[in-house]
C-alpha cells in the first residue's frame, strides 16, 4: 500500500484529527541493506542513533549494521535494550567521569576522545578499573574542508582536538598503558550532498592520518570517517549518489596502499532513517492574514523541529481526505502559495512558507516526507502540552 492510501485508511478510524509519525520498517531494512552491500571491503557501517532511536527502528537495524554509535549512557541503554552484543562506539564533546566509567564497564568497542583533559581522565578511570580503553582520537582538522549544511571541523566548534594540539594527545596516549590508541575519528560535516566531494574528503582524511602514523610511528587500525551523508530536502529527485560514492571509494582504497591495514568506519544517521519516516498532520484551519494564506495543522514544530532548526521549507504532499463532517462550507484553497504552521503560540512554529499547492482543504492531511531522521528525536515535545503524535510502525515490526 502506498503511504497516501495508508493515511486515508487510518483517517477513517480516527475521530480526532490525525497527528502521527509513521515509519516503514521494510523500507528502512531495504535501504540499509542496499547501502551496506555496496560498501567496499574493510568498511564497517554503524548507525548514529541520535537521528532516530525509537526501539523498533533500532531492532530493525541491529541485525543489518555492524554496530551503533551513541553519545550518552541513555543511548547505550537504548541499544542494549534491543541487543546485548551489537558493538557500540561511544562519543560526544563532553563526558563525565561516570559516563566514561560506565562506557568502559559496558565494554563499548571504541571511545572517541575529544580533548587531552578527557584522555587523562579516561586513563585514570581505566587504571582504576584495571582495564585498557580502546580509543580513537577525534580530530578537528585544519580547514578548508568541503562545505555542507552543518560544519563540525575545519572551523571553530566544540568538537574534537584541534589539529595543532594533536601531537601532544598522541604522545600522551602512546605513553599510557591504559590507552589502546587504535586510530582517529574525523566526523567533520553533516548533510553533504556531493558524492565526489565526499570521496575527496575521505582521501584527505587518509592523507592526514597517514601523515600522523608516519610522524609518530603509530600502527593505525581504524579510521572513523563519521557520518554526514546528506539528504536533499530541496530537490527530492537528486539524492546523494551512494553508488557513485562507493564505487569511487572502492577504487581509492584499492589503489591506496597506505590504508590497506585500516578498517574504515562509517557512522551515519540522517542518510539511514530520513526516507523511511513521515510526519502526518491534519489541516485544522485555513485563513488569510495580511495577504498570506495560512494552513494550520494538528501538531507543530514541537513534534517536528527540523524545518525550524534548518530554516528550510520542509517537503510535503497534501493527502486528500474526502470525508467532511460539518454542514457548512469546507475551507479550501486552489493553486495557492501556502504557509503551513502548527498549533503553537509562537510565530516561529512554521514548517513551510509560500509553497505552491494545487489544492488544500480543512480535513486534508499534510504529509511531511523525509521525516525519519532528526524529527521527533530533536524536538521539544512538551512545549505547550499538546498531545504527543502517534508513533506508527508499518512493515514487519
Ligand atoms: C550526529 C553524528 C553522526 C551522524 O551524523 P549524520 O549527519 O546524521 O550522518 C555521526 N557521528 C557523530 C560524532 C555525530 O555527532
* Structural domains for the chain: 3-22+275-394 (2.40.37.10), 87-268 (3.20.20.10)
- The count of other CB atoms within 10 Å of the CB of residue 232 is 14
CB 377 within 8 A of CB 300: no
Question: Which pLDDT value is given to residue 94?
Answer: 95
- Find the DSSP H helices in 176-281: 195-216, 242-255, 270-273
Question: Which pLDDT value is given to residue 146?
Answer: 67
118 lines ligand 1 (CB under 6 A): no
Angle (CA) 96 44 261, round 5°: 100
Question: Which pLDDT value is given to residue 153?
Answer: 73
Query: Could you give the C-alpha distances from 283 to 206, 257, 297, 388, in angstroms and in order?
Result: 50, 58, 4, 17
Question: Which pLDDT value is given to residue 150?
Answer: 67
Question: Which pLDDT value is given to residue 148?
Answer: 62
CA 50 / ligand 1 centre spacing (Å) = 8
pTM for the full model? 0.96
CA 335 / ligand 1 centre spacing (Å) = 39
Question: Which pLDDT value is given to residue 1?
Answer: 64
Of ligand 1's listed atoms, the one at least distance from the Cα of 227 is: 9
Distance of alpha carbon 70 from alpha carbon 78, whole angstroms: 9
Q: Known catalytic residues?
A: 345
Question: Which pLDDT value is given to residue 147?
Answer: 66
Question: Which pLDDT value is given to residue 155?
Answer: 77
Distance of alpha carbon 45 from alpha carbon 32, whole angstroms: 10
Question: Which pLDDT value is given to residue 151?
Answer: 73
pLDDT tens profile 133-163: 999 999 999 877 766 666 777 778 899 999 9
Low-confidence ranges of the chain (pLDDT < 50): none
Amino acid at each position: 500500500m502506498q503511504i497516501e492510501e495508508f493515511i486515508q485508511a487510518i483517517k477513517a478510524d480516527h475521530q480526532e484529527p490525525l497527528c502521527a509519525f509513521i515509519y516503514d520498517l521494510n523500507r528502512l531494512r531495504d535501504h540499509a541493506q542496499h547501502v551496506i552491500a555496496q560498501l567496499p571491503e574493510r568498511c564497517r557501517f554503524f548507525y548514529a542513533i541520535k537521528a532516530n532511536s525509537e526501539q523498533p527502528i533500532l531492532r530493525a537495524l541491529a541485525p543489518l549494521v555492524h554496530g551503533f554509535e551513541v553519545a550518552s549512557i541513555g543511548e547505550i541503554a537504548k541499544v542494549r535494550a534491543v541487543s546485548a552484543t551489537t558493538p557500540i562506539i561511544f562519543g560526544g564533546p563532553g563526558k563525565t567521569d561516570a559516563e566514561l566509567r560506565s562506557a568502559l564497564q559496558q565494554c563499548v568497542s571504541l571511545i572517541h576522545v575529544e580533548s587531552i583533559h578527557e584522555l587523562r581522565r579516561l586513563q585514570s578511570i581505566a587504571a582504576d578499573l584495571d582495564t585498557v580503553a580502546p580509543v580513537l582520537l577525534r580530530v578537528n582538522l585544519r580547514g578548508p574542508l568541503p562545505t555542507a549544511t552543518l560544519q563540525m571541523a575545519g572551523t571553530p566548534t566544540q568538537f574534537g582536538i584541534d589539529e595543532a594540539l594533536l601531537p601532544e594527545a598522541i604522545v600522551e596516549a602512546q605513553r599510557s598503558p591504559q590507552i589502546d590508541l587504535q586510530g582517529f575519528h574525523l566526523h567533520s560535516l553533516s548533510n553533504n550532498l556531493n558524492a565526489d566531494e565526499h570521496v575527496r574528503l575521505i582521501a584527505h582524511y587518509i592523507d592526514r592520518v597517514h601523515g600522523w602514523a608516519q610522524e609518530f610511528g603509530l600502527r593505525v587500525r581504524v579510521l572513523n570517517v563519521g557520518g554526514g551523508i546528506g539528504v536533499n530536502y530541496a530537490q527530492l529527485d537528486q539524492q546523494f549518489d551512494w553508488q557513485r560514492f562507493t564505487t569511487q571509494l572502492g577504487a581509492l582504497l584499492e589503489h591506496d596502499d597506505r590504508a590497506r591495514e585500516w578498517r574504515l568506519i562509517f557512522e551515519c544517521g540522517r542518510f539511514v532513517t530520513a526516507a523511511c519516516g513521515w510526519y502526518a498532520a491534519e489541516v485544522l484551519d485555513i485563513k488569510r492574514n495580511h495577504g498570506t494564506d495560512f494552513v494550520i495543522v494538528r501538531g507543530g514544530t514541537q513534534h517536528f523541529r527540523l524545518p525550524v532548526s534548518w530554516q528550510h521549507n520542509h517537503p510535503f504532499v497534501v493527502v486528500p481526505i474526502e470525508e467532511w463532517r460539518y454542514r457548512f462550507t469546507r475551507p479550501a484553497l486552489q493553486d495557492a502559495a501556502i504557509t503551513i504552521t502548527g498549533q503553537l503560540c509562537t510565530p516561529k512554529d512554521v514548517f513551510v512558507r509560500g509553497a505552491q499547492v494545487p489544492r488544500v482543504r480543512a480535513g486534508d492531511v499534510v504529509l511531511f516526507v523525509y521525516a525519519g531522521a532528526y524529527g521527533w528525536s530533536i524536538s521539544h515535545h512538551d512545549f505547550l502540552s499538546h498531545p504527543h503524535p502517534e508513533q506508527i510502525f508499518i512493515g514487519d515490526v
